[in-house]
Amino acid sequence: MSDIGLYALRFALAAALVGIAAGVAAGVARRADWTRVAERAVWLVLAFVSLSMFSLFWALANHDYQLVYVAAHSATTMPLHYRLAALWGGQAGSLLLWLWMLCAYSAGAIWASRRSNRTLVPWVVVMLMANATFFLVLTNFVTSPFEKVPPGQVLSDGTGLNPLLQHPVMMIHPLMLYTGFVGFAVPFSFAFAALVTGELGTTWFRTTRRWTLFAWAVLGVAILLGGRWAYEVLGWGGYWAWDPVENASFMPWLVATAYIHSVMIQEKRDMLKIWNLVLIGMTYGLCLFGTFLTRSGIVQSVHAFAQTDWFGKIFLAYLLCVVALFFGALLYRRRELRSTNRLESVVSREASFLLNNWIFLAILVVVFTGTLFPVATEWVTGEKIVVGPKFFNTMAGPLALFLLLLVGVGPLIAWRRASFASIRRQFVWPASAGVACAALLGAILWGDVGFWPLTCWSLCAFVIATIVQEYAQAIAARVSRRGESVVRAFATLLRRNQRRYGGYIVHLGIVFVLIGVAGASFNQERLENIQPGESMVIEPYRLEYLTADAIPEQHYGGARARIALYRGETGLTTMTPEKRVYWLEQQPASIPAIYSTLQEDVYVILTNIEHDGSATLKVYRNPLVNWLWIGGGVFILGSLAVMWPHPSRESQTG
Amino acid sequence: MSKGAQIAVGATAVAVLLAWYGATNLEPGSTYQYYQTLDEFLAAGPGERGDSLRVHGYVADGSIERDVGGKQVFFAVQNDPPHAAVAPSGSLRVVYLGLETPDLFADGAEVVIEGRLDGEGDRAVFIAHNVLAKCPSKFEAQAPEAAEL
């Protein structure tokens, strides 16, 4: 079975090369028959790579320990779903997953354009298959998932998957992350095709609008899920540490968000043509860069990266080639990309969108600088200097708040030029809501929390008020004019003008996330060692340590503490933080217990059961964390509303 | 002014503002730290690097001692893994002010300690306010934040 996978990858490589050749031929000669060959090559590559994926799944499911990959990432005792998820538990497998995603996207994009964009398609195929070729070369010749253990050394069991990855979230998080990363290949390839053919109108981004939104939304959710996993599994009390790996996924999302906004200006006002191409080029470049960063070990973080040196080098070479090709084409077409319109007023929606773009890029610069600071300082001074979370928070925090302000302001300002009267009319009550919130929170909390979280929550109140006002005005108009019910009017708005009103829901999700993030500024923590029957206090909670018992599981053992949680005299729940040891992997893991409410989380880590039976507990009180996950849910709903297929979508206005 | 010049001016203004803001709000120590291997750190001599450092090393075998009452953990780090062919060069005593060591913290674990050096010569002790541990080499990079404290 595994040989089938191996050879399928060889054939896929051949088919991808045929696709590139046919695509170039079709593009240069403008011949429809060659275009069809190129398209069929894409389907063929997808078929072969799918076969290869299936073959690896098969090997994992059936314990084929002849394969190095299977032996190193799974074990007989692991349940089936984790054995299958081990496909993206290691280097070679996750490259195969990336490749498969790329092929699936390629085929999907080709299929969606089967009756349109005939001049673009050959070059789209060329770009997509060039990317696929690189990953095919990697999986064929550099880190093959089908590499075999030398005969005679085949063991009867594997060494298992890193226990930290044996978590439900970890089954889908990498999958979603890659779905996001790779998805940007589609708009990137269409943009490239537009540059090569000189068809620089709105086609390339209109065609790929949904693809871009999909990739962007999935990446956003994946980032949040990564945070959730860190929070529930890693047991350090937080969800985001500005680690290089996290930053690697955050950077493309930042640029993609800027792109999604600025492309609307191009659509409405035919401006920023070059800018949008630059942004989509950067987005895909950063997706590749993120993969490079996490796979090459260039940034010494606390992670182990068992990589060969030259893996990083060829990946970097590939990344530079792709980016150079794209920006070379952009440079070549720069004269044809002049805007016909100019910014008419700084008080206009265009201007606010433009400002939003600048801030997104400024945040990108901060994250990029911070991530690569150790590398840069080592080059320049010979010494590594590492920047911590405080750098990122201090630098990116105020920028994010300014962005939050724009989330409220942008949609209320008219296109082209806003009048003073309209601004006053639109802003009176949202601004008062913001001020009222600031005054109220300031009166209650001043002294406990500082300037930044208060500002954040006030701005959140302002933005929520603008969103409510937008909906209320539009719904009221429909109700009075057409006699629709409120619910019906709401549904109609979402359907008729999904981008605008769906966009507001996405904004609302982001606002909820930021409400939660600001809560982190008054986290509390306690570390105590207590005997059974004793309590520790983290106001207003009291945690009573009842007993500890052994964990009766098959794959892991260790201790579990039982802790009664009280608020005042009321018993709330029994919490059971665990200190596990995974037998096979000989790896300990602290699994926290979390008591979660809308207001705050009580987060308990069992640091150790000491020899005298006492428990050493680390307890955090983390306010508002739940709002992150709620915000994530709202974000998904909003994204769905924006993307939902709609028959008359071409006629709507944003 | 041409469009290119406008963009250049705008970008410069933003960069200058950011740099100015950073320079006035970021203090050394809490926001950035030198990152050295233990050998580099010992060679640099005491006191040269101020009071916030990140030092990379390996936990010496059998050196971990937990002081539950005092809420601290004592251990020693050395430059090379305990089982490596090279004989251990210098080692350094460490006091970690806390009990919540990472899951992967154990004899021979690859660690990064954050803190400052106290005392001189043989009595030198590294006072760590944070300890990060790396996955043992058996596992690949796939656990992104796996070793985060």
- Tell me if B139 and A162 make a contact (CB, 8 A cut-off): yes
- Which of chain A's residues have a Cβ under 8 Å away from the Cβ of B144? 226, 243, 245-246, 294, 303
Residue for token pair 């919130």 = A437
B81 & B128 share domain: yes
> A621 with A595: CB under 8 angstroms?
no
Whether residue B149 is predicted with pLDDT greater than 60 in this model: the reply is no
Which residues neighbour B85 within 8 Å (Cβ) at sequence distance 6 or greater? none
Distance in Å, alpha carbon of A145 to nearest chain B alpha carbon:
14
Which residues neighbour A542 within 8 Å (Cβ) at sequence distance 6 or greater? A535, A536, A565, A566, A567
Closest partner residue to B99 (CB to CB) among A383, A384, A616 is A616
User: How far is A445 from A438, CA to CA, in rounded Å?
Assistant: 10
- Which of chain A's residues have a Cβ under 8 Å away from the Cβ of B100? 527, 605, 607, 616, 618
What is the phi/psi pair of residue B127, to 5°? Answer: -95, 110
Peptide bond into A540 cis (omega under 30): yes
Is B72 inside any structural domain? yes
- A451 interface with B at CB cutoff 8 Å: no
Distance in Å, alpha carbon of A17 to nearest chain B alpha carbon:
30
- Mean of pLDDT values over B10-16: 80
First to last CA, chain A: 52
Check the CA dihedral A563-A565-A566-A570 and report its sign.
Answer: negative
Strand, coil or helix: A545: strand
How many CB atoms sit inside 10 A of residue A629's CB?
Answer: 19
| B125-131 long-range Cβ contacts below 8 angstroms, 24+ apart | B125/B93, B125/B94, B125/B95, B126/B55, B126/B77, B126/B92, B126/B93, B126/B94, B126/B95, B127/B94, B127/B95, B127/B97, B128/B94, B128/B95, B128/B96, B128/B97, B129/B96, B129/B97, B129/B98, B131/B96, B131/B101, B131/B102, B131/B105
- Would you state the structure tokens that stand for residue B96, as one six-digit string? 């970690």
B79 & B59 share domain: yes
Query: What pLDDT shows up at residue A279?
Result: 97
DSSP secondary structure of B115-137: EEEES-GGG-EEEEEEEEEPPPT
Distance in Å, alpha carbon of B128 to nearest chain A alpha carbon:
16
Closest partner residue to A162 (CB to CB) among B99, B137, B142 is B142
Distance in Å, alpha carbon of A502 to nearest chain B alpha carbon:
32
Is B92 inside any structural domain? yes
> B40 with B49: CB under 8 angstroms?
no
Which positions 114-153 of A are in contact with B (Cβ < 8 Å)? none
Closest partner residue to B143 (CB to CB) among A165, A362, A590 is A165
Residue for token pair 């690697």 = A248
**CA separation, residue A233 to residues A230, A239, A359, B9, B140 (Å):** 5, 10, 33, 46, 18
Check the CA dihedral A43-A48-A54-A57 and report its sign.
Answer: negative
How many CB atoms sit inside 10 A of residue A345's CB?
Answer: 13
B27 & B81 share domain: no
- Which of chain B's residues have a Cβ under 8 Å away from the Cβ of A585? 138-139
- Tell me if B136 and A304 make a contact (CB, 8 A cut-off): yes
ipTM of the complex in this document: 0.80
Element (H, E) at B114: strand B110-118
Query: Number of A:B CB contacts under 8 A?
Result: 154
How many CB atoms sit inside 10 A of residue B59's CB?
Answer: 26
Is B122 inside any structural domain? yes
Which residues neighbour A599 within 8 Å (Cβ) at sequence distance 6 or greater? A623, A624
- Which of chain B's residues have a Cβ under 8 Å away from the Cβ of A307? 141
User: How far is A144 from A134, CA to CA, in rounded Å?
Assistant: 13
B41 & B113 share domain: yes
- Would you state the structure tokens that stand for residue A605, as one six-digit string? 């880590």
Nearest residue in B to A87, CA atom: B142
- Tell me if B36 and A384 make a contact (CB, 8 A cut-off): yes
User: How far is A638 from A623, CA to CA, in rounded Å?
Assistant: 25
User: How far is B2 from A342, CA to CA, in rounded Å?
Assistant: 12
Locate the domains of chain A by residue range.
Answer: 1-161, 522-627
Residue for token pair 């840069």 = A376
- A385 interface with B at CB cutoff 8 Å: yes
Percent of residues in chain B assigned helix, strand, coil, to nearest 5: 20, 30, 45
- Tell me if A304 and B22 make a contact (CB, 8 A cut-off): no
User: How far is B49 from B120, CA to CA, in rounded Å?
Assistant: 14
User: How far is B127 from A632, CA to CA, in rounded Å?
Assistant: 40
- Which of chain B's residues have a Cβ under 8 Å away from the Cβ of A246? 144-145
User: How far is A298 from A61, CA to CA, in rounded Å?
Assistant: 34
Banded pLDDT at B56 (limits 50, 70, 90)? confident
B81 & B125 share domain: yes
- Which of chain A's residues have a Cβ under 8 Å away from the Cβ of B48? none
Banded pLDDT at B119 (limits 50, 70, 90)? confident
Is B47 inside any structural domain? yes
Nearest residue in A to B131, CA atom: A302
A237 sits in the region (left: phi over 0; alpha: psi -120 to 50; else beta) called left
Closest partner residue to A304 (CB to CB) among B15, B30, B135 is B135
- Which of chain B's residues have a Cβ under 8 Å away from the Cβ of A373? 32
> B98 with B85: CB under 8 angstroms?
no
- Which of chain B's residues have a Cβ under 8 Å away from the Cβ of A89? 142
- Tell me if A304 and B142 make a contact (CB, 8 A cut-off): no
- DSSP class of residue B79? S
Closest partner residue to B145 (CB to CB) among A234, A589, A614 is A234
User: How far is B99 from A617, CA to CA, in rounded Å?
Assistant: 9
B53 & B92 share domain: yes
Is B112 inside any structural domain? yes
DSSP secondary structure of B39-71: HHHHHH-TTTTTT-EEEEEEEPTT--EEETTTT
Nearest residue in A to B37, CA atom: A384
User: Which residue in B74, B53, B28 sits closest to B116, CA to CA?
Assistant: B53
- Which of chain B's residues have a Cβ under 8 Å away from the Cβ of A230? 145, 148
- Would you state the structure tokens that stand for residue A158, as one six-digit string? 């594997």
Cβ neighbourhood burial of A111 (10 Å; 0-12, 13-18, 19+): exposed
- Tell me if B32 and A373 make a contact (CB, 8 A cut-off): yes
Is B75 inside any structural domain? yes
- Chain centroid offset of residue A456 CA: 23
* CA-CA-CA-CA dihedral for A439, A449, A617, A557, to nearest 10: 70
Distance in Å, alpha carbon of B126 to nearest chain A alpha carbon:
19
User: How far is B77 from B108, CA to CA, in rounded Å?
Assistant: 9
B83 & B119 share domain: yes
- A609 interface with B at CB cutoff 8 Å: no
B12 & B76 share domain: no
- Which of chain B's residues have a Cβ under 8 Å away from the Cβ of A226? 144-145
- A365 interface with B at CB cutoff 8 Å: yes
User: How far is A209 from A203, CA to CA, in rounded Å?
Assistant: 10
Strand, coil or helix: A539: coil
Query: What pLDDT shows up at residue A444?
Result: 87
Distance in Å, alpha carbon of A8 to nearest chain B alpha carbon:
25
User: How far is A64 from B84, CA to CA, in rounded Å?
Assistant: 33
Which positions 286-315 of A are in contact with B (Cβ < 8 Å)? 294-295, 297, 300, 302-307
Closest partner residue to A162 (CB to CB) among B33, B54, B146 is B146
Is B51 inside any structural domain? yes
User: How far is A640 from A629, CA to CA, in rounded Å?
Assistant: 17
Number of domains present in the structure of chain B: 2
Check the CA dihedral A216-A248-B111-A163 and report its sign.
Answer: positive
> B74 with B67: CB under 8 angstroms?
yes
B25 & B49 share domain: no
Closest partner residue to B14 (CB to CB) among A159, A307, A358 is A358
- Would you state the structure tokens that stand for residue B15, as one six-digit string? 């960069």
Residue range of the domain that includes B6: 1-31
User: How far is A159 from A76, CA to CA, in rounded Å?
Assistant: 9
> A603 with A626: CB under 8 angstroms?
no
Rg (CA), chain A: 27
> A2 with A55: CB under 8 angstroms?
yes
Is B86 inside any structural domain? yes
Closest partner residue to B134 (CB to CB) among A89, A303, A590 is A303
User: How far is A476 from A467, CA to CA, in rounded Å?
Assistant: 14
> A371 with A248: CB under 8 angstroms?
yes
User: Mean pLDDT for each consecutive 10-residue tract of chain A (654 residues)?
Assistant: 92 97 94 94 98 96 93 89 90 92 96 92 97 95 91 85 80 90 97 94 91 96 92 86 89 97 89 93 95 70 50 88 96 86 78 90 93 86 83 91 92 79 86 93 82 93 95 93 91 89 96 95 90 93 94 87 94 94 83 94 92 92 95 96 72 42
Instruction: Reduce the secondary structure of A464-533 to three states and give it as a string.
Output: HHHHHHHHHHHHHHHHHHHCCCHHHHHHHHHHHCHHHHHHHHHHHHHHHHHHHHHHHHHCEEEEEEECCC
Query: What pLDDT shows up at residue B106?
Result: 85
* CA-CA-CA-CA dihedral for A73, A74, A78, A80, to nearest 10: 110
| A544-547 long-range Cβ contacts below 8 angstroms, 24+ apart | A545/A615, A545/A617, A546/A574
- A614 interface with B at CB cutoff 8 Å: yes
